Structure formats: C-alpha cells, structure tokens
Amino acid sequence: MRVAFLGPPGAGKGTQARDLAREWRVPHIATGDMLREAAAAGTPLGLEAKRYMDRGALVPDDVIIGMIADRLRQSDAQSGFLLDGFPRTIAQAEGLERLLKDLGQPLDRVIYFDVGEPELTRRLTGRRVCRACGHSFHVVSNPPRREGVCDACGGELYQRADDSEATVRNRLNVYRKQTAPLLDWYTGKGLLASIRGEGTIEDIAHRVQDAARGQK
C-alpha cells in the first residue's frame, strides 16, 4: 500500500501510522520527525526548519519535497510507504504527484483524520515528549508513571515549543488556510477517505484499516 495521512496537528496521525506501517511492513515516513531530527543535529537544514517550526509556520516546500524524494528512493520504500504529515499544501501535493509518477508509485489512498478543534487543542497543549527516545505522553489521557520522566527509557519529558497554547492556535490557523484545501484536491482525484479521529486508539485503527481497504 502507498498511503498518505492528512489531518490537523494533534489528529493522531502519527500513532496510527506507526502501528499500520509495522503491520504492512512498509516505512513510516513522518516529515515532522525528519525535521526535528535535523534540528536537533544542528544541521543548516535543521536550523532553518526550526525557525519555522518554533512559530508554528510551514517549512518551505522545496526543503520538504527534497527530503521526501531522497527517502522514497531508498530500497525499503519500493514495496510501499505511509506518509505522515505530508503533503501539507497544494503545491506539495503537486510536487509529490510528479515525484511518484516518476517513481511509478502513485498513491493508493489518502486518509483524512477529522477531529474537532477543542479536542485538538486539549491533545496538543497536554502533550509531553521524551528528549531521549521521542516517546509521547499526555498529562491527562496518557500520563507517565512519574511526572516528568519517560516510562520507556527514564529520559526527561518536556513540552515542545510548537505545543504551547499560542503556537497551537497558530498551527491550527495555518492548517485551515493552507492544508484544508487538500481535501477538495484529493477528493477530485478520487483518493480521499475521511474517518472520525476521536475515540479509542483501537476504534480509530479499525476505521483507518477499513478506509485503507476502500470500505465505508
């Protein structure tokens, strides 16, 4: 399968993508993770990307598309892939379409996670991430056993700069203006399947599986 997940920040795309990619044995390609790794490494690309991410703005298309192109050309992506957080704009979607056409690997399905804004704000502002291993927790719905300490590795938990309330509001505004038009774009191509992104992780996973198979 070659699938892309769409949805606003905090919609739960990453959680579902990790599980589904393991089941399908295809790479989970998360642009956010790729950019944060580059930022943490202090590379020129990473530092440039960090300036945009810290204020909730989108990283320029040419930076993202170049990274995706390199990743999709790797051998483990030849049997399929799951894109998480890409594309985010019509221009990126057009660039991805050209790239996949060149590779002979068009998308099979685009799945949209529909989640209300109050729930998105609650999820994002309460998220805490481990500095060491990247594992995510939530102060209300999925707290660590010890406050501020990762259950998985004992690392320090912190709130990402892009999860502050002010930045979350900006991220959702950016999404509405620049990313939401992708829904119409992919609907016109017959690729979009929309699922309700609220409920238990297990319930959402069943909806994702059905959507990926083309079931209602």
For the annotated catalytic residues, the residue numbers are 13, 88, 127, 160, 171
| Side-by-side strand order, sheet with 136-138 | 136-138, 127-130, 157-158
Peptide bond into 60 cis (omega under 30): no
Helix axes 90-103, 181-188, angle to 10 degrees: 40
Q: Which residue bears the tokens 């959702």?
A: 172
- Given a contact cutoff of 8 angstroms between Cβ atoms, the answer to whether 97 and 188 are in contact is no
Between the alpha carbon of residue 52 and those of residues 19, 39, 58, 59, 170, the distances in Å are 29, 11, 6, 6, 12
- Burial of 1 per CB tally in 10 Å (0-12, 13-18, 19+): middle
- Give the pairing type, strands 109-114 and 192-196: parallel
For residue 61, give every residue at least 6 positions away whose Cβ sits within 8 Å of its Cβ, in sequence order, or none. Answer: 89, 91, 92, 95
